[in-house]
């Protein structure tokens, strides 16, 4: 069964450092998303990406964040200068179309120390 | 802002009983709703979705009911099994957006033998 894969599963980084979280969406999907989940809290939308550009972003997705689809398979989230409060699970998701089921990856646990 | 929330943070049921998890939403413009299951350390897993032109949809052992009049969504799980133990999130498409989902806070379902 096709699935969204994310690497690494766990990333520890020092405050102020840059991190890149990687995702391989399901191959025939056209819409890509990043969400985050702070421990014990709900899943929060960060950004959506379609046709090689950002479709929508939340207030969380500030100038420290960027996304890229560097090739036909990968979808990355970059955090330029990490802060302690960026510590969370980051989930990548993809869907075939608008308002269709979004499939989530297993997540990357980011710990900023 | 708009809110998607859950009535009960935890629900404990006996194996074999039916479970009902409830969700309230406040954005009357939402037209697409999804239930996700999240097991510890994993990403959200799609269970079932429903569009606003329907009031009921059934899957395998699960039923979603949508009451647009009172902006209420419920997930019914028949013959609950230990493997159903997880956190369940309802999600709606974000206001004025078809791209991203707004998640509720989650209900923890515990199935006891």
Tokens of A26: 């399901």
Highest mean pLDDT among A55-59, A83-87, B26-30, B97-101: A83-87
pLDDT tens-digit readout, A39-76 = 888 899 999 999 999 999 999 999 999 999 988 889 99
pLDDT tens-digit readout, B13-30 = 999 999 999 999 888 888
By DSSP bridging, strand B45-51 and strand B101-103 are unpaired
Query: Rounded to an integer, what is the distance from CA B49 to the centroid of its chain?
Result: 9
Q: Which of A33, A58, A101 sits opposite B46 (nearest CB)?
A: A101
By DSSP bridging, strand A108-112 and strand A10-13 are parallel
Q: What is the distance in angstroms between the Cα of A60 and the nearest Cα belonging to chain B?
A: 13
Beta bridge partners of B35: B48, B90
The single-letter DSSP state of residue B98 is S
Rounded Cα–Cα distance for residues A32 and A50 (Å): 7
Contact A99 B106 (CB under 8 A): no
Q: What is the distance in angstroms between the Cα of A101 and the nearest Cα belonging to chain B?
A: 7
Contact A99 B31 (CB under 8 A): yes
Identify the closest residue of chain A to B44 by CA–CA distance.
Answer: A104
Contact B99 A33 (CB under 8 A): yes
């Amino acid at each position: 069964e096709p699935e969204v894969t994310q690497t690494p599963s766990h990333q520890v980084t020092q405050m102020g450092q840059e991190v890149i979280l990687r995702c391989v969406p399901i191959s025939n999907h056209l819409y890509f998303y990043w969400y985050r989940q702070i421990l014990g809290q709900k899943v929060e939308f960060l950004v959506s990406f379609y046709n090689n550009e950002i479709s929508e972003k939340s207030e969380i997705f500030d100038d420290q964040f960027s996304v890229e689809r560097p090739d036909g398979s990968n979808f990355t989230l970059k955090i330029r200068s990490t802060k302690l409060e960026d510590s969370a699970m980051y989930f990548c998701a993809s869907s075939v179309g608008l308002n269709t089921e979004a499939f989530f990856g297993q997540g990357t646990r980011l710990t900023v120390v | 802002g708009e809110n998607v929330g859950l009535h009960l943070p935890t629900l404990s049921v006996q194996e074999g009983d039916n479970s009902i998890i409830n969700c309230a939403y406040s954005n009357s413009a939402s037209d697409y709703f999804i239930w996700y299951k999240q097991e510890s350390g994993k990403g959200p897993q799609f269970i079932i979705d429903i569009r606003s032109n329907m009031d009921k949809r059934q899957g395998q052992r699960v039923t979603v009911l949508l009451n647009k009049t009172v902006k209420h969504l419920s997930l019914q799980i028949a013959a609950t099994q230990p493997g159903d133990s997880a956190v369940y999130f309802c999600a709606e498409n974000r206001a004025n957006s078809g791209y991203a989902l707004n998640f509720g806070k989650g209900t923890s379902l515990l199935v006891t033998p």
